[in-house]
Structure 1
Amino acid sequence: MNALANRYGEGFMPSSSPSPTFGHGQPLPDCLPQGYYPPSQSQAVSALTPHLYRPVCECHAIYGAGYGAGLANIFGKVSFAVSGNFRIRGNNGRSMPLSLHIRFAGARLSGKSEAHLRFNAPVVEAMKGWKKRWLFDNVLPPTLLRKMRAGSVLSMLSMPEGRGHLAGALSRSFQDLSDLYDSNMPSFDRADDHEQLAGHALESALLVVCVNVQDDAHRKWLDSFGQDAMASGYLFRLLMMECDELAIEGAGAQQPEFALLDYDDRIIELITSGRVKLESMPANKLPVIDVAPEAEQILRQAKGHFCSMSGKALSSRDVIVFSARLCANARRIAGCMHVFERYDGPVSADTMARAVMIAEYFGACWLATVFPSKPLPAGVQRGQHLLDKLCTWVLQSRVSPLSWREADIVALAPNFGWSKAEMREAMTWMCCAGFAQVLPRNEGGRRVIKFELNPNFAPPQLKHQTDMPIRL
């Protein structure tokens, strides 16, 4: 049985020291600069404020949802709840909404549906009685805009499995989605639409996007529309996370809910107050949360850091766009946590530091999914496999030198399922990479060609082995 989630635990600011792990089972992508290590998934989850950290842990322990799915889905629902209550002050003095646009791409059995359904349950309960359509799935863009102009001032585009959404036109309506990200209603496409609404159409509305999709559909969408989405600017606004973690079985009814029930109560409270506010004022006139000067300083420092982390993958102009949009999302994440935790006054430096770490993790995921690592050439893969195999043989034998006859290594090709040419290609890669070298040696008065591992690159256990022969 799984260990119980800590009922009284809380999120904490993890160490900022480099982490060798990025996401669950994800190696560091090639698009990140050398020597840079983004926050790991566990660091991003640990950076959550207490009343968000504990529900994510309980959802994992009880329902088995992966931490990545929990992190993405809880922010989607919290953003929906808080965006109807407040806006947040931007760096230019103007306010911006607290709505987030999030896409989580997970493998099969990653807990996408479990996280979506559990975190969405109090939202559905709190929105009962709302006269206008608020929850949208795979709708066409004209339908969504018509509903929002007619009074759907608080809306959410959310689904547990969004394969149909990625195949639909709404996922490609980049200009409309960019306008709605800023809570602005797009302009009318047809003149008769304006005449039918007779000037009563909403000028501002809130749309939160929290879509769970399969990783293969997400990859196909990026291959087909990623360039257009980036050129339009919307892709930079979209928080994306792609990970291959698997859900666990979960404790189920054996473990009672505590933090999740507190989450439910807070979500219902926020949505109830937000509905009252939105009935009396436009979405762009909601009260504004200020940001403390110390928090603004953290964001300014983060902006330069975001530029450096994306410099290898993006052009100099796109680096600036990436950094600015990620800072804006960090500001919104900080505002969401600030409101959900009932903090008073402006957003503090501590809350902003947590938001920056979470945004940096999302930003690294964004870079990794938009610029995926290219698969290694077959010759390189064979060379790495041969190197690992030779080191394993040496460690198991305990009496090995670091050299063999070249002909003996080539003769092993059928054992690997390779041809002799492929074996020689693997040996050539090892030599070119500096892991080995081919040298003529004299043995018993005879000249032989030896294949030798470079002791400077060999594991420490191999550097002091005796020069005795090995039977391969």
Structure 2
Amino acid sequence: MNALANQYGEGFMPSSSPSPTFGQGQPLPDCLPHGCYPPSQSQAVSALSPNLYRSVCECHAIYGAGYGASLANILGKVSFAVSGNFRICGNNGRSMPLSLHIRFAGARLSGKSEAHLRLNAPVAEAMKGWKKPWLFDNVLPPTLLRKLRAGSVLAMLSMQEGRGHLAGALSRSFQDLSDLYDSNMPSFDRADDDEELAGHALESAILVACVNVQDDAHRKWLESYGQDAMASGYLFRLLMIECDELAIEGAGAQQPELALLNYDDRIIELITSARVKLKSMAADKLPVIDVAPEAEQILRKAKECFRAMSGKALSPRDTIVFSARLCANARRIAGCMHVFEGYEGAVSADTMARAVTIAEYFGACWLATVFPPKPLSAAVQRGRHLLATLVTWVRQSQQSSLSWREADIVALAPNYGWSKAEMKEAMMWMCCAGFAQILPRTENGRRVIKFELNPDLASPQLEQLTHTPIRL
């Protein structure tokens, strides 16, 4: 029996696959609303279809690539292989391509290069002899468009270290990238552009983007162009993962490849088929995969979930855009897994549920990347430190009293290297945040000012702030 990958049951652990050991999960981003718990990285990887799941596990175990890098890169390569064979039926009845635009942002030694090189190897092998350029790196927009119009109907923008790409003009050609995301050829900019091609230029082409970049360059790009990218709509189409996961050494030749060899054979088979199809039909005329009604129902529920997930960070209008684009990507991911696994008929509810889990993980990463937590002020940091100290006192001494004389707390300021004013500022933050209160009390007939922790605070809330197990 398949194990549910998250509390909503969208994803399933392939029962025939060994369970990997995942690293510690990152804390929930501050931009998510209270009570929203999106899938973790382990749940997203476990939600992959069985053969893709085993391939990711082998890529990590043998080559040491991080799970985040492996997940992003395998989806990109599979999207390239399947998008030349089929399209998928959209929610409005019109078909859409299976091409994905993915960006993985990782720190040094995150396994970006290992995942890119190994998972791209069968793609390069299958594209040998293809007369038109198909693999693009840090290319200028006019060059890319000229090549696509001239017959590069199946193309991929991919690189293992994309710092130059983020600094180039193509990374911010949002309108052109949005058109190509839908397999539509952008219009000519000027009447005299490419006069030789104007009569027979392609009207549709497939462009898959799977770019690995450094996390610092990615954050700098978002600071400079994030607002424009969001206003254009392209940023909502872009799937992003940013994580600080480290690669491992990997078993190398000591462990034989099994799932990865099957992955190679399937990728080569799909690309060979795509090359034949694209010679006889346009990219927007490929056969269309239907989606089962049960799968459509899962997507409709996911759309509301995606909208609620983004409600804290985005405006009401942008939450609609975010959920619609993420549902479109979930539909494409489901189509990619459906074709790669060789399933017959319409996309099933099981496959769509897996895709929704993966898309929800991408959505949470997108929100955390686009809306990173703001740095805490010095006053807040001192307030949290004081809160953790007081809670630790209570826990270690097992005292029932949660109050101290205000003057006694202020007198501790030199122990932390603070001034009395800074200590009072820390106490003020605790009071404003609802963690404590200052009240007059009568002790032995004398009026004293007491600083008291709030006994009604929930332990999980305190633990998240102080990173200290709380037992008040």
TM-score greater than 0.5 by the shorter chain:
yes
Alignment-derived partner of residue 148 in structure 2: 148
Kindly indicate whether the alpha-carbon contact (under 8 Å) linking 2:25 and 2:40 is maintained by their aligned counterparts in 1: no
CA gap of 1:314–1:432, structure 2 versus 1, over 3 A, is: closer
**2:421 is aligned with 1:430:** no
Using the size of structure 1 for normalisation, the TM-score is 0.89
Alignment-derived partner of residue 227 in structure 1: 227
Of 304-313 and 84-93, more deviation after overlay is shown by 304-313
Alignment-derived partner of residue 16 in structure 1: 7
What percent identity do the matched residue pairs reach?
Answer: 84
Alignment-derived partner of residue 367 in structure 1: 367
CA gap of 1:173–1:461, structure 2 versus 1, over 3 A, is: closer
Kindly indicate whether the alpha-carbon contact (under 8 Å) linking 2:101 and 2:238 is maintained by their aligned counterparts in 1: yes
Kindly indicate whether the alpha-carbon contact (under 8 Å) linking 2:161 and 2:214 is maintained by their aligned counterparts in 1: yes
Shift of 1:89: 1.1
Kindly indicate whether the alpha-carbon contact (under 8 Å) linking 1:38 and 1:364 is maintained by their aligned counterparts in 2: yes
Kindly indicate whether the alpha-carbon contact (under 8 Å) linking 2:106 and 2:245 is maintained by their aligned counterparts in 1: yes
Alignment-derived partner of residue 98 in structure 2: 98
Counterpart residue type for residue 224 of structure 1: S
Counterpart residue type for residue 15 of structure 1: N
Shift of 1:253: 2.5
CA gap of 1:285–1:24, structure 2 versus 1, over 3 A, is: farther
CA gap of 1:379–1:277, structure 2 versus 1, over 3 A, is: same
Cα-Cα RMSD: 2.3
Alignment-derived partner of residue 464 in structure 2: none
- Write the distance in 2 (CA, Å) between the matches of 1:424 and 1:287: 69
Kindly indicate whether the alpha-carbon contact (under 8 Å) linking 1:11 and 1:54 is maintained by their aligned counterparts in 2: no
Please list, as runs of the form range in 1=range in 2, the aligned pairs for 1:338-349 lying within 5 A after superposition: 338-349=338-349
Shift of 1:270: 0.8
Counterpart residue type for residue 137 of structure 2: D
- Write the distance in 2 (CA, Å) between the matches of 1:18 and 1:34: 20
Shift of 1:462: 5.2
CA gap of 1:62–1:419, structure 2 versus 1, over 3 A, is: farther
Kindly indicate whether the alpha-carbon contact (under 8 Å) linking 1:387 and 1:430 is maintained by their aligned counterparts in 2: yes
CA gap of 1:138–1:411, structure 2 versus 1, over 3 A, is: same
CA gap of 1:349–1:462, structure 2 versus 1, over 3 A, is: closer
Kindly indicate whether the alpha-carbon contact (under 8 Å) linking 1:33 and 1:312 is maintained by their aligned counterparts in 2: yes
Kindly indicate whether the alpha-carbon contact (under 8 Å) linking 2:96 and 2:182 is maintained by their aligned counterparts in 1: yes
Paired positions, count = 451
Alignment-derived partner of residue 119 in structure 1: 119
Alignment-derived partner of residue 418 in structure 1: 418
Report the 3-state secondary structure (helix = DSSP H, G, I; strand = E; otherwise coil) of the residue aligned with 2:195. Answer: helix
- Write the distance in 1 (CA, Å) between the matches of 2:232 and 2:95: 23
Shift of 1:441: 5.0
- Write the distance in 2 (CA, Å) between the matches of 1:338 and 1:462: 49
Kindly indicate whether the alpha-carbon contact (under 8 Å) linking 1:313 and 1:367 is maintained by their aligned counterparts in 2: yes
- Write the distance in 1 (CA, Å) between the matches of 2:437 and 2:9: 34
Alignment-derived partner of residue 409 in structure 2: 409
Alignment-derived partner of residue 239 in structure 1: 239
Of 99-108 and 304-313, more deviation after overlay is shown by 304-313
**2:181 is aligned with 1:187:** no
Counterpart residue type for residue 421 of structure 1: A
**2:350 is aligned with 1:350:** yes
Counterpart residue type for residue 56 of structure 1: V
Q: Which stretches in structure 2 are left out of the alignment for 5+ residues?
A: 11-22, 460-468
Of 23-32 and 384-393, more deviation after overlay is shown by 23-32
Kindly indicate whether the alpha-carbon contact (under 8 Å) linking 1:11 and 1:49 is maintained by their aligned counterparts in 2: no
Alignment-derived partner of residue 309 in structure 1: 309
Of 62-71 and 449-458, more deviation after overlay is shown by 449-458
Of 451-460 and 169-178, more deviation after overlay is shown by 451-460
Shift of 1:18: 10
Counterpart residue type for residue 230 of structure 1: M
Q: Deviations over 1:113-156 (max 9, x none)?
A: 21111111111111111111111110100011111111111110
- Write the distance in 1 (CA, Å) between the matches of 2:309 and 2:68: 21
CA gap of 1:403–1:304, structure 2 versus 1, over 3 A, is: closer
Alignment-derived partner of residue 55 in structure 1: 55
- Write the distance in 1 (CA, Å) between the matches of 2:230 and 2:345: 36
Shift of 1:25: 4.5
